[in-house]
């Protein structure tokens, strides 16, 4: 099976023993702590009513704990009694924040007051920009298939691809592309590997081996000299839905082979996926 066939099997829940809780925001921090990986500092965790009474720092990230997507994630700075988005420069009041989260909770729980919310440390890149570039490592039990770095601080997202050892992907246009309807949204560009590339790979491998799954995407950021774990993505829609980023058939076969090899390694380990999930 190639990458797409395996991902279809996973999305349709035919893959047994998948540790789905690792994709939840609430679980990522204790998991990272247990394996010695950094995450942004947690400043608040609680209900919506408690969040609205929280004394926010000058800059912060606020997000709903119950969603695994970027929906409801705001990077904000205090501006008097209001807030300003550090991404779009739009103004937000405590009332608009409340209404936004009540709508999300109503859609998710059918109860606008349910759900927990997190306030985290805001990370900046070495140039002081927010958010830092997204670093996404496609990992197969310690083996890195490739690395995608995305810079969203432009009119079009800049996507840069690297081989699994962080060397430049010289044949990138033979392996990856952009859907015609998304050409105005992003472009593929070359960029130098980060100075701390070896540290990024070390974190990705550590996380990958600790996750009882043949495949996961390890999402990271760097700030200063440090590497921070953002999320563990078990169901990445990137490439699978073919509506923005494209992957060649040859690349899908290559990644499918890495997935199969990782399954064999995982099957020979002392912990099965199902057993490990019960202990996390």
**Residue-wise pLDDT tens digits, 102-155:** 999 999 999 999 999 999 999 998 888 888 999 999 999 999 999 999 987 777
User: Which residue range(s) make up the domain with 79?
Assistant: 42-120
Both 169 and 82 in a single domain? no
Both 81 and 112 in a single domain? yes
Q: CA–CA separation, 72 vs 106, rounded Å?
A: 13
Both 162 and 50 in a single domain? no
Q: Phi and psi for 122 in degrees, rounded to 5?
A: -90, 130
Strands 59-64 and 74-79: antiparallel
Q: Point out the domain boundary residue: 120, 138, 154.
A: 120
- Torsion angle in degrees (nearest 10) through CA of 255, 260, 261, 265: 130
pLDDT value, residue 130: 86
Q: Phi and psi for 190 in degrees, rounded to 5?
A: -85, 145
Both 18 and 146 in a single domain? yes
User: Is residue 277's pLDDT more than 50?
Assistant: no
* Burial of residue 78 (number of CB atoms within 10 Å: 0-12, 13-18, 19+): middle
Q: CA–CA separation, 162 vs 176, rounded Å?
A: 11
Both 100 and 227 in a single domain? no
User: Is residue 38's pLDDT more than 50?
Assistant: yes
Both 64 and 32 in a single domain? no
Cβ neighbours of residue 71 under 8 Å, at least 6 residues apart? 64, 104
User: Is residue 69's pLDDT more than 90?
Assistant: no
Q: Point out the domain boundary residue: 55, 86, 120.
A: 120
Q: Are 148 and 178 in contact (CB under 8 A)?
A: no
Both 24 and 157 in a single domain? yes
Both 90 and 227 in a single domain? no
Average pLDDT score over residue span 4-23: 94
End-to-end CA distance of the chain: 29
pLDDT value, residue 67: 86
Both 48 and 31 in a single domain? no
* Percentage of residues of the chain with pLDDT beyond 70: 96
Q: Point out the domain boundary residue: 120, 140, 157.
A: 120
Both 115 and 158 in a single domain? no
User: Is residue 278's pLDDT more than 90?
Assistant: no
Both 108 and 70 in a single domain? yes
User: Is residue 24's pLDDT more than 90?
Assistant: no
**CATH code for the domain in which residue 145 is found:** 3.30.470.20
Both 32 and 56 in a single domain? no
- Our count of domains for the chain comes to 2
Cβ neighbours of residue 65 under 8 Å, at least 6 residues apart? 24, 25, 26, 45, 115, 116, 117, 118
pLDDT value, residue 248: 98
């Amino acid at each position: 099976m190639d990458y797409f066939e395996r991902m279809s099997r996973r999305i349709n829940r035919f893959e047994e023993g998948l540790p789905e809780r690792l994709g939840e925001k609430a679980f990522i921090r204790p998991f990272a702590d247990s394996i010695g990986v950094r995450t942004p500092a947690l400043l608040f965790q609680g209900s919506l009513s408690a969040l609205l009474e929280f004394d926010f720092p000058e800059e912060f990230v606020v997000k709903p704990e119950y969603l695994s997507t970027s929906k409801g994630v705001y990077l904000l700075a205090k501006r008097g009694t209001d807030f300003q988005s550090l991404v779009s420069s739009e103004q937000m009041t405590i009332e608009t924040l409340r209404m936004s989260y009540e709508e999300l909770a109503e859609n998710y729980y059918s109860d606008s007051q349910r759900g927990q919310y997190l306030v985290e440390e805001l990370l900046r890149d070495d140039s002081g920009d927010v958010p830092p570039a997204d670093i996404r490592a496609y990992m197969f039990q310690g083996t890195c298939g490739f690395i995608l770095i995305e810079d969203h601080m432009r009119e079009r997202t800049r996507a840069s691809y690297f081989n699994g050892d962080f060397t430049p992907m010289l044949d990138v246009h033979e392996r990856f592309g952009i859907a015609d309807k998304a050409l105005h949204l992003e472009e593929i560009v070359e960029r130098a590997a980060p100075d701390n590339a070896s540290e990024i790979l070390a974190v990705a491998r550590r996380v990958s081996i600790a996750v009882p799954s043949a495949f996961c995407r390890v999402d990271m950021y760097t700030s200063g000299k440090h590497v921070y774990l953002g999320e563990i993505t078990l169901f990445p829609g990137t490439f699978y839905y073919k509506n923005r980023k494209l992957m060649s058939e040859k690349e899908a076969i290559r990644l499918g082979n890495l997935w199969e090899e990782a399954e064999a390694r995982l099957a020979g380990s002392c912990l099965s996926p199902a057993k490990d999930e019960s202990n996390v």
